[in-house]
Amino acid sequence: MKVLICGGGIAGLTLAWCLERQGHHPVVVERAPHFRDEGYMIDFFGSGHDAGERLGLLPELERIHYPIAHLTFVDERGRERISLPYPVLRRRIFEGRHFNFMRGELARVLHARIEGRVELRFHTTVEAFEQHGARVRVRLSDGAEDDFDLLVGADGVHSQVRRLAFGPEERFARFIGCYTASFILDGPPDGLRDREAFTTLTVPNRQVAVYPIRGGRLATFFIHRAEHPVEDFSRESALRELRTVYRGMDWLVPELLERCEQASGFYFDTVTQIDMPHWSTGRVVLLGDACQCVSLLAGQGASMAVAGAYLLAEELGMAGSDVPAALARYEQRLKPAIEHKQAAGRRIAGWFVPESRLRLALRDLGLRMSLWPVASSVFRRRMAAESIFRH
């Protein structure tokens, strides 16, 4: 089967690899001019961990894992308020089946599996398509036209394939009321005390976190509730927005904002979920954030992108020539779990960015209780961390 995958991110690369292993002929088109291996720290557990195990990826994931020592919560003067031993949480909440790594490192691991085996065309996107029976005729941005047995939109939360196949983003996007940013700096600030911790400062409506990463660099993460809608997502405008919103926050924040001009891997976006009645039409199907974005609040987008790709390939492998039946089963198996995780993501927003000092204090109480043995299963349930492969 000849499959065009639009988007060479976590979902697209995983699907390309799975299909190539089955003897299909995937082609990946990616809008970025070159391989994107920048990003932010992600938690990887549940369905993603199980899919990774089935794909024989665990040794590679272990290699890129960051053994964070503590989750440390500081006050505005940088004084430690709560410090949780991360290996203990990892064992209790996730039974050790959990990784932390940079999104880009996961992408690199997946890319290595298809390099030289799958055609990956950068600086290219899908401009238009038409369906004729069992074929999809696709026109690409480089002027090429070709026929495929299946077109997969794995082009992220702002998917172009979704727009072409189902309509404008506004119809499916659920804004969670927050914006997020991340970037990478060369070298941690002098004021960062614990270099083995994921350190977080939260004040009402805003959170900033930092964590040292390989190569002597520092990854940052910002999330805030929106007081006004952002219209312009250019880097210059996003930097202005961050400086305005985070003005007055103490600790390392002024230095981070001063240095963000020289940062690499700059990312700024809304925190959004995608909610669609259906994920496929004919022989065009969506995958990953394009149809199932749970948002960073659920902490499982990349995990579910890998799991979804694994599941779609499995269904296509079993269906033979009945591709529409495979697409329907893929959606039936995955969608209920996604809706459950999206609901959890919305609940967790109050934990990420509490709206008041009182809610912040309640969150901190919950964090302190997280080490109690009985709390682990409550946390697992609240996060909807269960794997779709364990029902």
Ligand X SMILES: Cc1cc2nc3c(=O)[nH]c(=O)nc-3n(C[C@H](O)[C@H](O)[C@H](O)COP(=O)(O)OP(=O)(O)OC[C@H]3O[C@@H](n4cnc5c(N)ncnc54)[C@H](O)[C@@H]3O)c2cc1C
Residue 287 or 316 with smaller CB distance to ligand X: 287
Coil, helix or strand at residue 249: coil
- 202 touching ligand X, by CB under 6 A: no
- 7 touching ligand X, by CB under 6 A: yes
Residue 98 or 329 with smaller CB distance to ligand X: 98
- 305 touching ligand X, by CB under 6 A: yes
Residue 320 or 345 with smaller CB distance to ligand X: 345
- 314 touching ligand X, by CB under 6 A: no
Sole binder of ligand X in the list 17, 40, 66, 148 (CB under 6 A)? 40
- 280 touching ligand X, by CB under 6 A: no
Structure tokens at 388: 């779709």
Neighbours of 182 (CB within 10 A): 22
Is-contact 50 303, C-beta < 8 A? no
- For residue 133, the minimal CB distance to ligand X (Å) is 25
- 125 touching ligand X, by CB under 6 A: yes
Residue 93 or 154 with smaller CB distance to ligand X: 154
Handedness of CA 88, 91, 96, 100 (dihedral sign): negative
Cα Rg of the chain (Å, integer) = 21
Opening angle at CA 235, ends 231 and 240, nearest 5:
70
Sole binder of ligand X in the list 72, 280, 303, 376 (CB under 6 A)? 303
Sole binder of ligand X in the list 3, 4, 9, 24 (CB under 6 A)? 9
Distance, CA of 385 to CA of 43 (rounded, Å): 11
Distance, CA of 44 to CA of 64 (rounded, Å): 12
Which of the ranges 27-35, 52-60, 111-119, 313-321 carries the binding residues for ligand X, by CB under 6 A? 27-35
Residue 9 or 354 with smaller CB distance to ligand X: 9
Sole binder of ligand X in the list 26, 288, 345, 354 (CB under 6 A)? 288
- 144 touching ligand X, by CB under 6 A: no
Residue 29 or 118 with smaller CB distance to ligand X: 29
Neighbours of 321 (CB within 10 A): 9
Residue 325 or 367 with smaller CB distance to ligand X: 367
Which of the ranges 197-205, 209-217, 299-307, 364-372 carries the binding residues for ligand X, by CB under 6 A? 299-307
Distance, CA of 132 to CA of 92 (rounded, Å): 52
- For residue 290, the minimal CB distance to ligand X (Å) is 6
Structure tokens at 95: 């039974």
Distance, CA of 183 to CA of 219 (rounded, Å): 6
Q: Is 54 exposed, middle or buried (0-12, 13-18, 19+ CB in 10 A)?
A: middle
Distance, CA of 62 to CA of 86 (rounded, Å): 16
Neighbours of 324 (CB within 10 A): 14
Residue numbers of the site for ligand X (CB under 6 A)? 6-12, 29-32, 36, 40, 42-44, 103, 125, 154-156, 160, 180, 182, 221, 288-290, 296, 299-303, 305
